[in-house]
C-alpha cells in the first residue's frame, strides 16, 4: 500500500502544481497589466492544464525529489520506507515519467534512474502514534541554481535579513522562472537555515506563519519583492513572487544564519497521511484533477 501511495504522490507532484499555486497564477493573470507578462502567465496556466489532461510532466526538468516523512513510532514498516521510496523513483524514471537527473559529482556519470548517494533526499521526523505523513516536493535545477546563504551579524537585526532576501531576488532576476515562491529560513546554523527555507515551501500559498510577527514579516517581504519590477520571466509587471514563506529556529546568539530557497512558478508538491487503520487521506489541493 505504501508503495502505491508514494507512486501516486510522485505522479501528481510531477504532472501538475497544487491548486493553491494554480489559483495564484490565475489571480496574477487577472491583475497583471503588462502585456508580455500576461502572455507568459496565460501560457503557464495553459501548460498546467495541458499537462494534467495528458498526464505528462508540467516541466521537462522533473528535478530531484525531496521527501519529508513524519513517522509515527507505531507505524509498521518504518525500516522499509527508504527502500520503498528508492524503488518507486527508479520505476517511475524507467517508465519515462521522470527525467534522469542524478549525476555523480566526481565521475559525471548519470545513474540513469534518479537514485544515488543520498538521492532522493529523505527527511524523517519521529512522532507519537501510528500514522505516516508522506510529503514530496520536486526541486528543479533552475530554482536551486539561485539559492543563497547569508550570515548576518546580529547587531544588524531583521532589517538586514530583509535586505539579504531582496538581494537574493535581485541577483536571481529571471533565472528561476518567476513568478517565484520564496522560502526563507532563519536558523541557528547555516545548514539549519537552508533546511528551514526548503521546508517553508511545503506551506500553501496564502497561508501565513502562525506567529503574527513572522506573518507580518512575510507580507512585508512579499510587498517589497513585487515592488522590484522584475516580473514574470523578467519582463516586468506586478508579480515577481506569488508568496513568501518564512520559517525559523532560535538562532545562535552571535549571528543570523539566513537561507533563501526559491521555487519557479511550477512549485510541485504532494502529500498524504496513511493512518494506522489503513485509511489514506490525500491533500485535495495537491492530489487533484
**pLDDT tens per residue across span 74-97:** 998 889 999 999 999 999 999 999
pLDDT in tens, 241-288: 999 999 999 999 999 999 999 999 999 999 999 998 889 999 999 999
- Domain residue spans of the chain: 1-140+267-289, 142-263
Asked if 239 and 32 touch (Cβ cutoff 8 Å), the reply is: yes
Residues contacting residue 16 through CB under 8 Å, at least 6 positions apart: 22, 48, 51, 52, 58, 268, 288
Instruction: Specify whether the CB–CB gap between 63 and 141 falls below 8 A.
Output: yes
Residue 1 scores a pLDDT above 90: no
Cα separation, 66 vs 55, whole angstroms: 21
What's the mean pLDDT in 23-40?
97
Average pLDDT over every residue of 188-204: 97
The three-state secondary structure class of 226 is helix
Chain segment 142-151, per-residue pLDDT in tens: 999 999 999 9
Amino acid at each position: 500500500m505504501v508503495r502505491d501511495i508514494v507512486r501516486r504522490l510522485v505522479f501528481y507532484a510531477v504532472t501538475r502544481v497544487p491548486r493553491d499555486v494554480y489559483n495564484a497564477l490565475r489571480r496574477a493573470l487577472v491583475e497583471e497589466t503588462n502585456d508580455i507578462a500576461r502572455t507568459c502567465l496565460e501560457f503557464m496556466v495553459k501548460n498546467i492544464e495541458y499537462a494534467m489532461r495528458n498526464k505528462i510532466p508540467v516541466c521537462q526538468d522533473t528535478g530531484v525529489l525531496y521527501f519529508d516523512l513524519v513517522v509515527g513510532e507505531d507505524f509498521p514498516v518504518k525500516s522499509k520506507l527508504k527502500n520503498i521510496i528508492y524503488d518507486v523513483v527508479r520505476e517511475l524514471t524507467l517508465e519515462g515519467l521522470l527525467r534522469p537527473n542524478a549525476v555523480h559529482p566526481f565521475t559525471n556519470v548519470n545513474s540513469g534512474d534518479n537514485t544515488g548517494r543520498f538521492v532522493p533526499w529523505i527527511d524523517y521526523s519521529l512522532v507519537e502514534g501510528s500514522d505516516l505523513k508522506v510529503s514530496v516536493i520536486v526541486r528543479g535545477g533552475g530554482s536551486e541554481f539561485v539559492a543563497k546563504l547569508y550570515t548576518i551579524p546580529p547587531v544588524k537585526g531583521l532589517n538586514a535579513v530583509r535586505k539579504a532576501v531582496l538581494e537574493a531576488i535581485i541577483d536571481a532576476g529571471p533565472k528561476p522562472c518567476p513568478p517565484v515562491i520564496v522560502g526563507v529560513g532563519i536558523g541557528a546554523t547555516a545548514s539549519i537555515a537552508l533546511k528551514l527555507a526548503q521546508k517553508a515551501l511545503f506551506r500553501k500559498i496564502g497561508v501565513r506563519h502562525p506567529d503574527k510577527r513572522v506573518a507580518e514579516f512575510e507580507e512585508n517581504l512579499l510587498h517589497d519583492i513585487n515592488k522590484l519590477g522584475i516580473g514574470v520571466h523578467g519582463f516586468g509587471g506586478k508579480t515577481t513572487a506569488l508568496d513568501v514563506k518564512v520559517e525559523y529556529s532560535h538562532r545562535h546568539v552571535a549571528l543570523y544564519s539566513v537561507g533563501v530557497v526559491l521555487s519557479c512558478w511550477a512549485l510541485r508538491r504532494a502529500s498524504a497521511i496513511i493512518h494506522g487503520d489503513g485509511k489514506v487521506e490525500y491533500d485535495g489541493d495537491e492530489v487533484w484533477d
